[in-house]
Amino acid sequence: MPGMGLPREAPAPIRFIANHVFPHMIPLPRRVYSPNVHMVEESADAVGRLVTDPELADTTSKYFEGHREIPLSDELYDDVRAEELWNGSLALTARP
């Protein structure tokens, strides 16, 4: 995510690209990959709204993309698949 300061230890040319070129390229991945590509400020604003907006105080089990609520996948309601995932996770993490 551009703007996070992750390349601060990188060589100067990489830092320049990350700080001055990538932020201007955000429209490209939004168009090609997903509209859910955001700058740090946009993401912080969206998360801040989820935490502080009184209209969302009682909201649970919802998924948001930026400021927009999006529908959940039907797979989330598949109890058989959930149990298989749970049992598989237990088997993979069981201590001998």
Which mean pLDDT values do the consecutive 10-residue runs of the chain (96 residues) have? 67 84 80 81 90 92 88 88 94 85
**Helices and strands, counts by H and E, the chain:** 4, 2
Domain count, the chain: 1
Q: Which residues are CB-neighbours of 41 under 8 A, at least 6 positions away?
A: 3
Which pLDDT does position 1 carry in this prediction? 52
User: Does residue 44 belong to any structural domain of this protein?
Assistant: yes
Is residue 18 a part of any domain in this protein? yes
Residue 13: inside a domain: yes
1 within a domain of the structure (yes/no): no
Place of tokens 């009184």: 54
What is the span of the domain harbouring residue 67? 6-93
3-state secondary structure of 23: helix
Residue at 89: amino acid letter: S
